[in-house]
Structure formats: C-alpha cells, structure tokens
Amino acid sequence: MISESTKFHEYFLEWIKLYKEGAVREITLKKYYTSHLFITQIAPNLLLSELSRQSYQAILNEYASTHEKQTTKDFHHQLKSSIRDAVDEKIIAHDPTRKVVIKGKKPRDKKQKYLSQFELQKLLDILDLGNEINLDWMILLMAKTGIRFSEALGLTPEDFDFHNHSITINKSWDYRSEHGGFQGTKNKSSIRKVPIDWKTCMQFSHLIQEKQENQPIFVAGRIYNSTVNHRLKKYCQKANIPVISAHGLRHTHASLLLFAGVSIATVARRLGHANMTTTQQVYLHIIQELENQDNDKVMRYLSSI
C-alpha cells in the first residue's frame, strides 16, 4: 500500500507500472524508467512525507548538474505528473512542484538542423531516384511532407490517395525492435492526412503499383535510422551543404513552409503536432526571424502614411 511512509522512488515506480505501462509507446516508457533510476540514485531514502519544495528542488538541481535545461524540464514533467496524482489521492497534502526553478548545464553547440531551399535542392538533385523504390525515394518523400522516419517506414500503398493528392498517416513502423512491425503513431494528433504535390503523386503511383496494398513500401528486412543518416551524410558532403539527419528533413520541411508564409496552424497540422504551441517552441528561432521581417514591413508601411 502506498502511504506517506513510502519512499518516493518506490511510489514513482508503482505509478509508472499502473498508469504508463501499456498506455505509452515503448520508447516513452523507457524514458520513465530511466527517470526512476535517477531518482533512486539522487534520493534513495526520501519518503513521500518528506517531499517539499526544497527537497524536490534539490532533486532537480542534482539532475540539472549533469543534464541540459530542456532534459531537466522533461524529467521534471514526468515527476510532476506522478506527484500531482499523489496530491489528488491525498497521499500527500501539498504539491511540492509549484514554482520550481528549472536549471541545467550549458547546452552543447547544436548542429544545423535544417537546410535552406537552395541547399535542399542540391541534396535532392543527387538522390538516386530510379524506377524502383529505395531509401532515396523515402528521403525525397520525407523532405516533401515533413513526416517522421517511423511514419515513412509505416507507409503502405493503401495510404496513398492519388485522386485527392494526399497520404494518410495512421501508423508507424517499429524499427527499433529486432522484428519490426506496425505500431501506432506517436500520439493521436499524429494521425492525419498530408497533402502532396502532383509531381510526387505521379512518381509514387508508378513506383508502388505492383506493391501489396497492406505491406510497407520502404521496408525490406531490418532497417536502422543510422543507415539513412549515414546515407544523408554522404550526400550532404557530396553536395557541399550542411550535414543533416533524417529528422532534419522534417525540420527543413517545416522551416521552408514557415519562411514561405504558411501559417503556424497549417504547419502544426501537417507535422502532426498536438497544438501550435509545440510548433512555436520547436521553431521559435524562425518565428522570431519572421517577426523581425514583419516589423520592418510595418515600419515601412507606417512611414509611407
């Protein structure tokens, strides 16, 4: 039985088993268990009854000493969810997570995550796009749609609607497991229809016409994210452009749409984000740059009145 005399890390473990096992994706579940290991190391003897703003802040500070701020924030959100349940169930009287300060060590220098339109065109120009489906065709499709790597792997011929120029994202491929297989999308918001241009429609209508309707078109045996990243690195170096990853294709797609003046709401829906806030957080640097351009337009207009 859980009570105030239960150790915090023991409660968190039971909470994970009760509320998260079978409810979240395997990769997300592993993150919860990793957080549990850190709590066990940082506060092995801390009881639920001893949880206070000070003791909770001390846990976050210890974690932040070896992690960047965003990682610490994610760690905090996992712990906070379990603690608020303990408050709701009156196991503890007060919420110790209120008004915490999120710290973290200095972030490492980040590699460029996206390409400009000119750089993307140079990359696409050297892809090996023959008459048979290969990973280069997947790279092209990811660049033109912004879909995730696992979502691209999960695509089957029946997901393509060539009449309405769209693809349906309603599943993904579990490329991390040894045997693979279809699995759900990252979240409910990831289930969506993504419009595609007529040229891509024409290309894929020929490429997949002989494929089985319910079989993944890009999967032929075990496939690794690192394989595609290595391929991209080779092409980027050959094209003399910044090296990006498979996920960088998604960032490139979203960035180019934003720079083209597409609304944040449309980009969010296209990417399968739960809300515009997520899109704004991920692409804040681009949005700020666009706001600066808008401010210049405002000033030029006002000066003409």
Q: Can you spell out the DSSP letters for 126-181? A: TS---SS--HHHHHHHHHHH---HHHHHT--GGGEETTTTEEEE--EE-TTSSS--
Is the dihedral angle over the CA atoms 196, 113, 266, 302 positive or is it negative? negative
pLDDT value at position 111? 66
- Distance from C-alpha of 292 to C-alpha of 298, rounded to nearest angstrom: 10
Q: What is the dihedral of CA 283, 187, 139, 135, to 10 degrees?
A: 160
CATH class of residue range 8-88 = mainly alpha
User: SS3 sequence, 50-97?
Assistant: HCCHHHHHHHHHHHHCCCEHHHHHHHHHHHHHHHHHHHHCCCCCCCCC
Q: Which of 226, 209, 197 is nearest to 133 (CA)?
A: 209
Q: Give 131's contacts (C-beta < 8 A, 6+ positions apart).
A: 206, 207
pLDDT value at position 109? 65
- Distance from C-alpha of 154 to C-alpha of 111, rounded to nearest angstrom: 28
Q: Where are the domains of the chain?
A: 8-88, 117-289
- Distance from C-alpha of 27 to C-alpha of 77, rounded to nearest angstrom: 16
Residues in the chain: 305
**Could you read off the pLDDT tens digit of each residue along the chain, which spans 305 residues?**
788 889 999 999 999 999 999 998 888 999 999 999 999 999 999 999 999 999 999 999 999 999 999 999 999 999 999 999 999 999 999 999 999 999 999 877 666 688 999 999 999 999 999 999 999 999 999 999 999 999 999 999 999 999 999 999 999 999 988 888 999 998 899 999 999 999 999 999 999 998 999 999 999 888 999 999 999 999 999 999 999 999 999 999 999 999 888 999 999 999 999 888 888 888 887 887 777 777 777 778 778 87
- Distance from C-alpha of 21 to C-alpha of 27, rounded to nearest angstrom: 11
Q: Give 229's contacts (C-beta < 8 A, 6+ positions apart).
A: 245, 246
Q: Which of 141, 136, 147, 154 is nearest to 205 (CA)?
A: 141
pLDDT value at position 278? 83
- Region for residue 223 given its phi and psi (left: phi exceeds 0; alpha: psi -120 to 50; beta: otherwise): beta
Amino acid at position 35, single letter: S
pLDDT value at position 112? 66
CATH topology of domain 117-289: hpI Integrase; Chain A (1.10.443)
Residue that has been written with the tokens 């609304």 in this structure: 263
Cα-to-chain-centroid distance, residue 242: 21
